[in-house]
Amino acid sequence: MSTNILMPALSPTMEEGNLAKWHVKEGDRIKSGDVIAEIETDKATMEVEAVDEGILGKILVPEGAQGVKVNAVIATMLDHGEGKGPAQETATPAAKTSPATIAPIPGPTPVAAPISSARPAVPATPAGGSRILASPLARRLAKDLGVNLGALRGSGPHGRIVKADLDAAKSGNAAPAPVERSTSVPAPATAPMASAPSDQQILKLYEPGSYDLIPHDNIRKIIAKRLVEAKQTIPHFYLSIDTEIDALLRLRTEINEAAPRDREGTPAWKVSVNDMIIKAFALALRAVPAANATWTEGGMLIHKHADVGVAVAIPGGLITPIVRNAEEKRLSAISTEMKDFVRRAKDRKLAPHEYQGGSSAVSNLGMYGVKDFAAVINPPHSSILAVGAGIERPVARNGAVAIATIMTATLSTDHRAVDGALGATLLSSFKRFIEKPTAMLV
C-alpha cells in the first residue's frame, strides 16, 4: 500500500515553500530519521526527516519547484516488500495520506464558524439615514423576528417603537410607517480602499528594454505581504529620543580589552555597540513591564521576559532572530549568540523557533551612517526600536558648548498596546541604561 508524502508546514505561518533538494531517489529504502529533502521557506532552508520506514515510490514534485502549497502531495512511499509497479507511478485519490511521514510543525488550529439558524440581521437605520426611535427590547425582538423596524409606525412617546408594535407586527396588524421626505444631508459614501497599479499598468510607463525584470523570490513575496499587513492593521505611533553614548563607548572598550585570549591571541568575546543596545532595551522592557506587551483582541499579553528580536540583513531580505531572556544575559553571551545568529541567518539555517515570537525588536542602521529612521513593527510585537549612528554633535553643557557623541533612537509602537506616555517611559528607561551603561553590568 502506498502513502502520500505531503509538503510540510515548517512554521505556523507557512503557506507554501520551495522544494530545494531531494536527498533520496525513487526506489531508495528510507528509515526513520533519514533526511529525505530540503525545503526552502520564506526565512530558511530546512532539512526534513522521515518518521516512517518504507521505499520511496514516486517523486511527484521535482527539485527546484517553487511555490509548492502546504499539504500538497510531493511523493509517494511504499511499504517494505512492495515493488514499484504501475499502480505507484502516480498518486491516486485512494492512496493513504500519511501526514506523519514528514512531521510538520503544527500551526494554529482553525476554528470553524458556528452554524446559526437565526434570521438575517435587519438594519436598525432606514435607507434614508435617519435614526429609528425604538426601545432596546423592541430592537432585540425585531432582530429575533427578522422585522424591519423602518417599516413600522411607533406607538410610544415621540413615535418610539415599543414591544406592543412588535407584537402587532408578529400578528400582522402593525401600522405601516409614514412616508416622510428626508431633509437630512445623506452621509457620504465610504471611499473604497485604493488598490496598487497592476503590473501591466506599471510596465506601460517604461520603454521595453530599458529595464531588467527580476522575479520575486519567496522571501521577498512574504516580506512584502507582511509589511503591508503590518501597516494596514497596526496603528503605528512614533517617539524619538537622543542619547549620549560616550560613556557606553568607553565601557565597551574596557570590556573588550578585558576579554581573555587564546594562544593565537583571539579574544573570547568582542562586544559591539549593537549588543549593548540589545541589553539596554531588554532591561528597559523589564523596568517598564506594561510596555513589554502584545495586543490580542481578547486581551493584552504582558510578557515575563524580554525576548528581543534583532533585524539581520540577508540576501534578498531580512530576518529577526530572537535573543531570549535578553535582560538576564551577560553582554558577552549576547555577543556570542548574535554572531552565531548572523552567520546562520545568512546561510538560511535558522530554525523557526529561533525567529518566531518575541516581545519586541531592535533594528540598527547606524553602521551605514543613517542618522535616524522609523521601523515597521513586526507582528506579533507591539514595538520596535530603530537605532541610528552615533554622531559627534555640539551640545549645551553647564552654559557652554561641548562635543558629545549622540545617537538617535526612534520607537515605533502599536498604539493599541503602548500609548504615548507609556512609550515615552520606555524610551526614558532605555536612555538611562545607555548613558549610565555600568548599570547593565549589575
The residues that are catalytic are 415
CA distance 40 to 38: 7
Chain-centroid distance of CA 93 in Å reads 36
CB < 8 Å & 24+ apart, contacts of 81-84: 82/1, 82/2, 82/55, 82/57, 84/26, 84/27, 84/55, 84/57, 84/58
- Sign for the CA dihedral angle at 379, 383, 389, 390 comes to negative
Q: Which amino acid is residue 388, in one-letter code?
A: G
The 3-state secondary structure of 287-306 reads HCHHHCEEEECCEEEECCCC
Q: How far apart are CA 361 and CA 278, in angstroms?
A: 9
List strands edge to edge, sheet with 65-69: 45-49, 35-40, 16-22, 65-69
In angstroms, the Cα distances linking 151 to 121, 127, 177, 184 are 15, 11, 5, 19
Please list the alpha-helical segments (H only) found in 101-181. Answer: 136-145, 163-171
Backbone angles phi, psi at 386, to 5 degrees: -100, 125
Helical ranges in 109-211 per DSSP H: 136-145, 163-171, 199-203
Contact predicate 361/308, CB 8 Å = yes
